[in-house]
Structure 1
Amino acid sequence: MPVNRMTQWKQIQQLDIKFLEQIDYFYDDTFPMEARQVLANWIEGQDWEAAADHESMANVLFNNLLMQLDRHCSQEPNFLLRHNLKRITHQLQMKYKSNHVQVAVIISSCLREERRIISLASIQEQGPLEKSMQNSEAFERQKNLDNRVAVIRSSVQMMDQAVKYLEDMQDDFDFRYKTLQSREAVRVSTDSVERNSQCTKQEVALLQEILNRLDFKRKEILSKMTDVIKEINDMMSTQLNLELMDWKRRQQIACIGGPVLTGMDQLQNWFTVTAQSLFQIKRQLDKLGELIHKVTYESDPIPLQRPQMEEQVKFLIYHLIKSSFVVEKQPCMPTHPQKPLIIKTQVQFTTKVRLLVKLPEVDYQLKVKTTFDKDPPPGKVNRQFFILTQNTKVMDVEESSNGCLSVEFRHLQLKEKKFNGTKGNEGPLTVTEELHSLSFEAQFCLQGMTIDLSICSLPLVVISNVSQLPAGWASVMWYNLLTDEPENMCFFSNPPRATWSQLSEVLSWQFSSFAGRGLNKEQLSMLGEKLLGQQPVHNDCQVSWSKFCKENIPGKPFSFWIWQDSILDLIKKHLLPVWIDGNIMGFVSKETERALLRERESGTFLLRFSESHLGGITFTWVEQADNGEAKFISVEPYTKNRLSALPFADIIRDYKVIADGIVPENPLKFLYPDIPKDEAFGKHYNSQQSKGKIHIFPYFPMSLIPISTLPNVTPLPCSSPEPPMSPGMFHVLSQQLSPFEMAAISSP
């Protein structure tokens, strides 16, 4: 009997605390977890990935999301939760009122990351890259930076009060000094002069005391400013810049299927608070400059120290603003959202840049210009392209990102330049090994400062035919796995090798991000053996770029990666629910397959991907003979063409074998190791066969049944030329069925 499928969110709630912390981390920056909780079933029932590519569908889903929240809110008995849901509904309305597609992108990313973490929990082993990005040290480092930025902010605000106190003290001195001057100008009697002289001495003494305190306060403020400037400089160079580099590295990893990129809001907060502190110090220095026009004296520390400090502050502002200009969303075709950095000529692609510094004084008319291959690598450039569409846009405040400046180019297209007498790609690199870049430029102006901003995308692969997509994606994976240099356009002139531990982690990411379930240790071990041969341990073995993507597997007409990509395509289009449930062992050698099935009950079967067919899946079952000998039977692999006609779960349910003229029966009983077939696949059965129903129409009902015939069939002894079945059944089987093909047969 079919079983109820446990919701993905229910599976999440049953994970260990270390995995729940990862869930908490990426929901903190993206989508309200309360909404995910109360709308778990509804959210998982929508096609958010499709909506991310279609604005009209995204609009419908966003409005439905708000309606679902309103409905749940009205029925919620808990006052606090009802209050939170009202607040969340309002926040979503305000934050995404003009960009419903962004909601679809966020939710689809969250669901994909949930599936990845569920898959990871089932495997119970993280790869080295994922461990490095999700360890406790990284969290502690970020908490430390949070505290450090907060302390700097507090120190700068306290200096504001100190400068105000200094200004009040100087005003008092200035008032007393001018009063004394006016008093000296008044001419009185000799006795009065003597009495005034005594008062004057007291006033002069008091003024000197105030001036001494004024001098001490100026030196104290300048000393504190110097310390804060040094602290900001040290924080920027030792922590903030490193966090930015770490974020960019995590963006690379997310581009090739790794953990979903988070932390941009946190990064923006660090940059913004630091920038606000620097501009505040700059204003304080300007204020000190005004004060010396009113009162100055010999050895005044302000004119001696202020110019150098002002230069230091401007230097820090300059580098902070320049580094805050980032590519938030790498170039990506909406038709292939999970394969960024591959651009097909004359096909629309999108990209987005952001300024991490949020300042209310900034002139919002910040114009961004994008250029393709602005600085091509030295030497011969095989292909040249230009942007076909509008390449300049103005940055604007984005409410969904807490008011930062950003701009999204949604309709960019490339066209190749044609040159007379040349033939496209004539260099040593293939089309999918040529790397290109998209650059962005803008000019930031504020408080008399002009800063030229520039940033480049990660290297791009440009294709002209969709058939080049798998090889292009291999290039994107290899580059972003093995280097964090943002502009190494000559990477494939001498591509480095990858260790199997690195490569296997990325391969598992492909299955978790594209198909919802990563690869376990046993599956990766088989793949390592397939690529590298039998080794005691594969982890440290080196894999060359050519062996991964360019050379054919021995005895096969395709490379290792093309084989893998065809399997991913098969899973995504035809096997996704069965794969996510873990019912497909997938990667297992024939020797291991037989060892696993040998002692099992007759009818026990397992599913594995074909090693001889691109994008094929087969199943093997065992039959135990009376003499104790195990017989293994495998079917010809099912490819996407055959699976387009009938769902795979229905094939498992309805599969029949014709042997020796016996009426077909299903030999598949138990999914390895001992799970009843219907228990494993029942929830995925689509069509239901008629059972005991009377149909009042003039035709026999028809059903598509997958059938195999055993080769070398020996007919049973029979005096009659007719086989032991009805003439109609025999006619259908003999005329319409061939081995390993599905056919329509009449029900009795």
Structure 2
Amino acid sequence: MTQWKQIQQLENRLLEHVDYLYDDNFPMDIRQGLSSWIESQDWEIAANDESMAAVLFTNLLSQLDRVRLQEQNFLQRHNMKIIQQQLQVKYATNPAVMARVISTCLREERRILSSACMQEQGPLEKSLQNSVAFERQKNMDNRVGLIRASVQLMDQAVKYIEDIQDDFDFRYKTLQSRDPRPNSETMKQEVTRLQEMLNRLDFKRKEILSKMDVVIKDIDDLMTSQLNPELQDWKRRQQIAAIGGPLLTGLDQLQSWFTLTAQSLFQIKRQLDKLVELVVKVTYESDPIPLQRPQMEERIKYLIYHLIKSSFVVEKQPCMPTHPQKPLIIKTGVQFTTKVRLLVKLPEVDYQLKVKTTFDKDLPPGRVSRQFFILTNNTKVMDIEDYSNGCLSVEFRHLQLKEKKYINGTKGNEGLLSVTEELHYLSFEACFTVQGLTIDLETCSLPLVVISNVSQLPGGWASVMWYNLLTDEPRNLAFFGNPPRATWSQLSEVLSWQFSTFAGQGLNREQLTMLGEKLLGMFCILCYSILFKENIPGKPFGFWMWLDSILELIKKHLLPVWNENFIMGFVSKEMERCLLKDRRPGTFLLRFSESHLGGITFTWVEHNDNGEVKFNSVEPYTKNRLSALPFADIIRDYKVISDGVVPENPLKFLYPDIPKDEAFGRLYNSQPSKGESAKPFLHLELMSYSHASTTPLSCQSPEPPMTPGEFNMLNEHLCFDIDTVSLHSLYILINMYYRFMSCC
């Protein structure tokens, strides 16, 4: 099933996230019409390869032409023509941008599918979690709404006080302008009425101040007990999403809560200012406004200050466009992007809000051995996003780091931590001014790793994963001085996320169990240095290097097979034999090599006439071998050479008992190596061979090198008519070819 078909089967809640991915940059009509073709192209590589991007762009337009001409609906043909023209205008001069857009959409689709699976949770647990999250959001919506309603009612109360006061002021001044006759009955009645009005005015002033006090306390409690925890929860989820976890959502909802709360606070501030104006006109002994207003105003300013400061967040953590799935790793000399956002949206805010970014600002001396500076422009102005909900944000798209030069080449504290364990950060500063308040804003990125060579990328990603998995501290740069240990339940989840992010499908429960048994069998404790720095006992490589090479192999050469769940993966050799021994002859399974980096092998079972069970394994296929031929085709065309016997394919059933062609048939990319004509030709270069042996094939010694004479003979007969050559000669040629390929 294609990825797009899986997407269409999602529930409406997740489909809304999918809908958000597609816009004029990449219309959903194209995704729908060209779904299979789009998923078969490598957009991620094209995003960083101009020539490949140009080819894919041209092919995309050709595919659109084909679909448009086949479309029967006139309106649909018209719409597709418009879309085609828009794409040509937008991407003709820069097709790599289109490739980047499509790559991002496909990757986010996989993330959404992964979050829909949540294999570690049962339906009841997921249902309870969703229910709790919904109730929490509903409670927050209600509380913010009640505060806004209370503040709006206080506006009416202030207006009522103003009306009473205007009436009192008019009557008082009118009484003063009359001929004073203190003892007249009319005068006494008027004074009594004024006194009653003053008493009522005093009551209403005390009442409004009391209501304000209650609302201010309610806002304070809201910020402390709910709003700030919700923000911290989002930041924690951002950490998890950065290392491949569930899709990050909720920022727009947070902005709504922050904005409504800020509007309430500013409205109360204006109401207090209005009360001050009223005091200037009319005041009296024990007037509550001059007594209570200063303290209330300070509390309002304090709450506004903290609300605005906490609303300044990093929406997108620093990331190189060349490695979008591995944020928080920056290579010197390579551009990276990041984005900050203000969660408070006020119409009266001065939108000329300049944001300055600094690298390792105020970092304590001796904390790092290397120092860097931002080579490109590090100041930009925040602006309103027209295409979103109108948030105030700024995206730095072209930042670049350069390492500082040292006198005499000395770096001071070099050697305290490795390059990939040394943590740095980006800070962002701005000055926010509104309604007479000036607030200095500052926020910072999550700790990031700076590398100088792509070979350091796996180690850097290991550090990013370990940090964000095990701590929610925003800036613990000394973390790797004594990194904490992880439990298997924690580590297994993040490892499964890696397969979901990079290979499109996470590890199932059985694969995680096998990997856990393998890992816990190698190590007693799961600590950072053992998993990511030290070699596996008896091997020249470490656990993470081994697993990362498998991820790379799947991503580049095994995706179709992996996503069909045909690779058992992490089964040990012992378990492999237990699984195969009772199966029909020719039953085979696929697993990752334990002895080679980035290798996959298969083992099949045979039964001798005397009932003895025999297991046969092949040398692992690595990226070099898989670059020439798809793995499904290798399974189809695999042959075993036996003396005097025509080569045959011993692979019959994929474990447990699926006929090979039934399992892999739809994944075959080329025609079988043996044609179907009357006089077929055997194309040796399309076939994989092993020599039959009484020992497992993985244990065989290599054939001797081919002589020049043998090579010339083989070169003359690489393609021959089977009917004109003897079986013995055929075997000799195949044997020579196999030896030739082994030498290569």
Q: TM-score, normalised by structure 2?
A: 0.85
1:46 to 38, 47, 53: 38
> Are the structure 2 counterparts of residues 480 and 321 from structure 1 closer, same or farther at C-alpha, using a change threshold of 3 Å?
same
Amino acid at match of 1:384: Q
Q: Which has the higher contact order (CA 8 A, sep 6+)?
A: 1
Superposed CA offset, 1:194-244 (max 9, x none): 9x9322222222222222221111111111111111000000011100011
Question: What is the 5 A alignment of 1:51-200?
Answer: 104=102, 107-117=105-115, 119-121=117-119, 135-184=130-179, 197-200=184-187
Cα distance in structure 1, aligned partners of 2:208 and 2:498: 56
Cα distance in structure 1, aligned partners of 2:187 and 2:386: 63
Whether the aligned pair in 1 keeps the contact of 2:644 and 2:727 (CA below 8 Å) is no
Paired residue total: 694
Whether the aligned pair in 1 keeps the contact of 2:354 and 2:382 (CA below 8 Å) is yes
SS at match of 1:307: helix
Whether the aligned pair in 2 keeps the contact of 1:602 and 1:624 (CA below 8 Å) is yes
Aligned to 2:503: 515
Q: Kindly indicate whether residue 190 of structure 2 is the aligned counterpart of residue 207 of structure 1.
A: no
Cα distance in structure 1, aligned partners of 2:512 and 2:261: 45
Aligned to 2:273: 286
Superposed CA offset, 1:122-147 (max 9, x none): x66699xx979955333322221111
> Are the structure 2 counterparts of residues 586 and 674 from structure 1 closer, same or farther at C-alpha, using a change threshold of 3 Å?
same
1:302 to 271, 276, 289: 289
Cα distance in structure 2, aligned partners of 1:66 and 1:500: 48
Superposed CA offset, 1:482-529 (max 9, x none): 111111111111111111111111111100111111112222222222
Fraction of identical pairs, as percent: 67
Cα distance in structure 1, aligned partners of 2:525 and 2:247: 28
Amino acid at match of 1:388: L
Q: TM-score, normalised by structure 1?
A: 0.84
Aligned-pair Cα RMSD in Å: 3.9
SS at match of 2:210: helix
Shift of 1:36: 6.6
SS at match of 2:646: coil
SS at match of 1:443: strand
Amino acid at match of 2:731: F
Cα distance in structure 2, aligned partners of 1:100 and 1:215: 67
Q: Name structure 2 gaps, 5 residues minimum.
A: 92-96, 701-723
SS at match of 1:498: coil
Whether the aligned pair in 1 keeps the contact of 2:353 and 2:382 (CA below 8 Å) is yes
Superposed CA offset, 1:407-457 (max 9, x none): 111111111112133455722311111001111111111111111111111
1:465 to 453, 476, 479: 453
2:14 to 23, 43, 53: 23
1:632 to 579, 594, 615: 615
> Are the structure 2 counterparts of residues 276 and 420 from structure 1 closer, same or farther at C-alpha, using a change threshold of 3 Å?
same
> Are the structure 2 counterparts of residues 8 and 610 from structure 1 closer, same or farther at C-alpha, using a change threshold of 3 Å?
same
Cα distance in structure 2, aligned partners of 1:632 and 1:138: 52
Cα distance in structure 1, aligned partners of 2:67 and 2:343: 32
Aligned to 1:190: none
Stretch deviating more after TM superposition (667-676 or 236-245): 667-676
> Are the structure 2 counterparts of residues 148 and 343 from structure 1 closer, same or farther at C-alpha, using a change threshold of 3 Å?
same
Amino acid at match of 1:273: L
Shift of 1:178: 2.0
Question: What is the 5 A alignment of 1:684-703?
Answer: 684-689=667-672, 691-693=675-677
Q: Kindly indicate whether residue 381 of structure 2 is the aligned counterpart of residue 394 of structure 1.
A: yes
Shift of 1:473: 0.5
> Are the structure 2 counterparts of residues 118 and 607 from structure 1 closer, same or farther at C-alpha, using a change threshold of 3 Å?
farther
Whether the aligned pair in 2 keeps the contact of 1:62 and 1:103 (CA below 8 Å) is no
Amino acid at match of 2:691: T
Cα distance in structure 2, aligned partners of 1:320 and 1:69: 52
Amino acid at match of 2:676: G
Shift of 1:742: 11
Cα distance in structure 1, aligned partners of 2:636 and 2:186: 111
Q: Kindly indicate whether residue 318 of structure 2 is the aligned counterpart of residue 331 of structure 1.
A: yes
Q: Name structure 1 gaps, 5 residues minimum.
A: 1-5, 186-192, 536-540, 715-722, 744-748
Q: Kindly indicate whether residue 227 of structure 2 is the aligned counterpart of residue 240 of structure 1.
A: yes
Aligned to 2:408: 421
Question: What is the 5 A alignment of 1:254-403?
Answer: 254-379=241-366, 381-403=368-390
Cα distance in structure 2, aligned partners of 1:606 and 1:739: 28
Whether the aligned pair in 1 keeps the contact of 2:162 and 2:278 (CA below 8 Å) is yes
Whether the aligned pair in 2 keeps the contact of 1:52 and 1:105 (CA below 8 Å) is yes
Question: What is the 5 A alignment of 1:209-224?
Answer: 209-224=196-211
> Are the structure 2 counterparts of residues 118 and 659 from structure 1 closer, same or farther at C-alpha, using a change threshold of 3 Å?
farther
Cα distance in structure 1, aligned partners of 2:651 and 2:100: 45
Superposed CA offset, 1:150-172 (max 9, x none): 11111111111111122122222
> Are the structure 2 counterparts of residues 436 and 229 from structure 1 closer, same or farther at C-alpha, using a change threshold of 3 Å?
same
Amino acid at match of 1:472: G
Aligned to 1:559: 542
